[in-house]
Amino acid sequence: MRIQDKVIVITGGASGLGLATARFMIEEKGARVAILDLNAEAGQKAIDELGAERAFFVATDVSSEESVQRAVEAVVDRFGAIHVCINGAALANGFKVLGRDGKATPLARFAQVTAVNLNGVFNVMSKCAEKMAANDPEGGEERGVVINVSSGAAYEGQIGQAAYAATKAAVIGLNMPAAREFGAIGVRVNAIAPGLFLTPMVAALDAKVLDALKSQVEAPRRLGDMREFAHTCAFIVENAYVNAETIRLDAASRLKAR
């Protein structure tokens, strides 16, 4: 699918990898981008940077069906369609299955993570796909593309990542059944499992912590550039034969237990 002038929805798009992808898609590919994020201040700052002509922000709680429905309708009202959905909103809350006192962690803490990382992905993906089905097929084939953001933790979750790793593995599990179902309407579904990236939050860490993170990366021995993530999103959108696939974007690094 050509990206020029296409409408791309990015959840969690007001910061980090999401914002970097929004910037890349607008500046390098000529897309129009709708940022769905809870942080209204960061969302407005993103629009100020990217320009209101091609960027649009909607304050959205991905775990709420009503909030997402309103956001999707607002995007269609603003840009006329949705062609690409990138689901990046996530909670990285860390906690063990058993607390320090040896007692079971309350289910509510686990459910809080699944509400955003898994339910939220399904929520946004399904509502965007409904709109994609109304698009004219490009080249007689494609009406839309979904990219769900997983994580290397889906494969090698660390101690304390039970909820995060479980939800990110579930995101990968969505690929095949959704791709098979959406094939009938010309929509592809893929996932990216990023490793360690130099986001602003990570860049603010102490130098010793950064060095420790870099030591876990094989080759090249550095943290990922956020543009490399954005470029991978663009590749998936542009290559019509990539479907039901998960791309590990981690320089061959594998997370240790701690």
Which residues are tagged catalytic?
164
CB 12 within 8 A of CB 39: no
SS3 call for 186: coil
Kindly tell me the burial class for residue 48, based on how many C-beta atoms sit within 10 Å of its own C-beta (0-12, 13-18, 19 or more).
Answer: exposed
- What is 34-61 written as a DSSP string? EEEES-HHHHHHHHHHH-TTTEEEEE--
Neighbours of 19 (CB within 10 A): 27
Range list of H helices, the chain: 16-27, 40-50, 65-79, 107-117, 119-132, 162-182, 200-203, 207-214, 226-238
Tokens describing residue 231: 């470029």
Distance CA 248, CA 237 (A): 16
